[in-house]
């Protein structure tokens, strides 16, 4: 899939020459770099299968090399996604601890109020502080849950996640599959 910078300041803007000088391009308004495309992994694998070979051994080796190159890319992406998910879990674990702490403090506050260990005014002030902390923690937990769901979807199908990530890359940063490392 060819890639070109496209004008996004007007609907259906004409393609802009990606080789034009930066000064010319800068005056044209905001730019959107069109992505590589969704078939970056599948395209070469399909092409290897549809090609005509001189013998079946060469065909088998070439197809295996393209498959290995694609799945090597998927494994690297999956490892990165897994690391990102683990970092997210570690970062968000403190919000669960805060929620548990708030719940415990609310129970202790109710107990102290029933036993007369704290005045109603002090209990009300403490309750308001805990309520504010609980609301803040609830919104942080909701964001953490959304993040976890996103990681779950991506990790449930790493091949599709890799395709999706690649399809959003600008052509200039895309490195195609290199089956040469896998030819045996």
User: How much is the pLDDT for 181?
Assistant: 81
Of 76, 47, 78, 74, the C-alpha closest to 63 is 47
pLDDT, one tens digit per residue, over 165-182 is 888 877 777 777 888 888
pLDDT, one tens digit per residue, over 126-164 is 999 999 999 999 999 999 999 999 999 999 999 999 998
Of 63, 47, 71, 42, the C-alpha closest to 184 is 63
Give Cα separations from 118 to 6, 106, 127 (angstroms).
Answer: 66, 13, 12
Model confidence at 35: pLDDT above 70 = no
User: How much is the pLDDT for 91?
Assistant: 93
Domain boundaries, the chain: 35-182
Both tokens assigned to 92 = 């968000």
pLDDT, one tens digit per residue, over 91-130 is 999 999 999 999 999 999 999 999 999 999 999 999 999 9
Query: Is-contact 130 105, C-beta < 8 A?
Result: yes
């Amino acid at each position: 899939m060819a890639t070109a910078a496209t004008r996004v300041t007007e609907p259906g803007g004409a393609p802009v020459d990606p080789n034009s000088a930066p000064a010319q391009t800068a005056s044209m308004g905001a730019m959107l770099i069109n992505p590589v495309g969704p078939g970056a992994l599948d395209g070469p694998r399909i092409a290897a299968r549809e090609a005509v070979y001189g013998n079946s051994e060469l065909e088998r080796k070439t197809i295996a090399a393209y498959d290995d190159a694609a799945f090597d890319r998927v494994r690297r992406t999956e490892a990165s996604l897994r690391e990102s998910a683990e970092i997210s879990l570690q970062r968000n674990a403190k919000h669960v601890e805060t929620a548990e702490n708030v719940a415990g403090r609310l129970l202790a506050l109710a107990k102290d109020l029933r036993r007369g260990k704290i005045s109603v005014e002090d209990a009300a002030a403490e309750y308001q502080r805990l309520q504010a902390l609980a609301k803040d923690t609830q919104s942080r937990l909701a964001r953490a849950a959304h993040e976890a769901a996103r990681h779950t979807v991506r990790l449930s199908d790493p091949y599709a996640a890799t395709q999706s990530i690649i399809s959003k890359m600008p052509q200039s940063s895309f490195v195609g599959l290199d089956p040469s490392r896998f030819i045996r």
